[in-house]
Amino acid sequence: MQNYNVSFGNKEIIFVVEQFGSPLWFYDFEVIKKRIGDLRSFDIVRYAQKAAPNVNLLSRMRHLGLAVDAVSAGEIVRALKAGFAPSQIKYTADIFDKEALVLVKEHSIPVNIGSSDMLAQLHEAGIEVPLTIRVNPGFGHGHSQKVNTGGEFSKHGVWHGELEVLAQNAERLGFTIECLHTHIGSGSDFAHLSRVVSAMEGLVPAACKNLNTISVGGGLPVSYKRGKQNNMNLGKYYDMWDNARKRISESIGHNIQLEVEPGRYLVAESCVLAAEIRAVKKMGKNLFYLVDAGFTDLIRPAFYGAYHHISIISRTNKELGKEVDAIVAGPLCESGDVFTQEEGGTVVSRKLPLAQVGDLLVIHDAGAYGSTMSSNYNSRLLAPEILWENETFIPIRKRQTFEQMLENELAFC
């Protein structure tokens, strides 16, 4: 089937919707395995699980030798549930909430600190764990301003000019800084990512002599638009960092490891969101396809103006009609519940086959920041997640029920 990165096709999508209803998330783990293979040159591949944190995916990644990043207490719990050893988990944040601090202490989980206050709070809690410092290099980039994680308007990391003082304080308090980490944003291009190399080399002298790892962060781009190839030369990217690693190792007198922290790159292309067209209507000159999935399922278009390839599957085995200009929107009581929009909320149309009620609409490359950012807004139920593995359909999350949605609300008269 054309335009699919996954190995399943129309037949499997129709079958899985008939079995589990719509909307639903449909993953192909073979895609994730291939993307992991792309990064095997790095010493450590640490998955940024916030992109897609289902424990079934995490467990499979663990079996493939990955480490894992956790940005909350809940993600620590998920990683432990998936079988990761505490030493394979790294808590990365700019603050500690109370639950995270308890779990870090209980399990001796390494910490990637993004503020000097975190260092003080570790010391006050009597926690001794290996430390990484996340450094804001003073610049950032990303496919949207909302994913730019560097520069003066970003909350993330320790400002590069404060690194030396923080490192000295850490050493005074008895901490060992084993790793420096920097990440400038998701979807960054090669030119911007390459700037991090020289920034990292300049930061190392301000850190400490015990450094054994540098983390290059994530942000590797994914080609969401069909026909537009990913221009990221991963071999060149690795060589650039490997050469920097050699120079840094020579300068500090011992070898260091290279760690990469992909999230979106590993999972984005592995999943589609399948929905059913429930209404086809004209609004003036505009044709709308209204589907049973909304931004409560996939928020990226509404939040970032993100583009996702869209295709139509006929449920009647009839040949689809000629292409028309159509706007794709969801069922929510929100004008912004539109899948075909650009950053800033500008609604646009797509060239799609003429469809009818009951046909399936497939939103592609939805594995990253798809299911994980779903919500119960409008009291909508969370959709199920199904895994396609060894040509078998494996449910990895059930559809939420109304009872589950309400179970934590306190009833009173």
How would you write 367-378 as a 3-class SS string? CCCCHHHCCCHH
pLDDT at 413: 55
89, containing H or E segment: strand 89-93
Q: Tell whether the model's pLDDT for residue 60 goes beyond 70.
A: yes
Alpha carbons within 13 A on the beta-carbon side of 183: 27
Percent of the chain with pLDDT over 90: 68
Q: What is the pLDDT of residues 262-276, one digit of tens each?
A: 999 999 999 999 999
**Exposed, middle or buried by CB within 10 Å (0-12, 13-18, 19+), for 172?**
exposed
Provide the mean pLDDT of the chain.
Answer: 89
Give the pLDDT confidence of 221-233 residue by residue, as tens digits: 888 988 766 657 8
Kindly calculate the radius of gyration of the chain based on its CA atoms and give it in whole angstroms.
Answer: 23
Asked if the model's pLDDT at residue 325 lies above 60, the reply is yes
With a cut of 90, say whether residue 53 has pLDDT above it.
yes
Per residue in 119-138, pLDDT (tens digit) is: 999 999 999 998 999 888 76
Type of residue numbered 266:
L
The whole-number pLDDT of residue 204 equals 76
Side-chain half-sphere CA neighbours of 94 within 13 A: 10
Q: What does the CA dihedral 25, 29, 34, 35 come to, rounded to 10 degrees?
A: 50
Name residue, tokens 């897609």: 52
Segment 371-399 shows an average pLDDT of: 97
Q: CB-hemisphere CA count at 13 Å for 98?
A: 0
* Cα dist from 136 to 94, 165, 217, 357, 403, whole Å: 11, 15, 12, 50, 44
In this structure, how many other beta carbons lie within 10 angstroms of the beta carbon of residue 42?
Answer: 21
**What region does 178 belong to: left with phi over 0, alpha with psi -120 to 50, or beta?**
alpha
Both ends of the chain: CA-CA distance in Å? Answer: 56
**What contacts 382, CB < 8 A, 6 or more positions away?**
371, 374, 376, 397, 399, 400
- pLDDT tens digits along 66-76: 999 999 999 99
Tokens of 222: 């994914």
**Residue 31 DSSP label:** H
Q: What is the mean pLDDT of residues 3-30?
A: 93
Closest residue by Cα to residue 368 from 298, 302, 287, 277: 298
Domains detected in the chain = 40-261 (3.20.20.10), 268-406 (2.40.37.10)
Q: Which residues of 380-402 are buried (b: 16+ CB within 10 A; e: fewer)?
A: bbbbbbbbbeeeeeeebbebeee
Residue of 179, 208, 271, 333 marked active site: 333
333 is catalytic: yes
User: 132: which strand partners?
Assistant: 112, 179
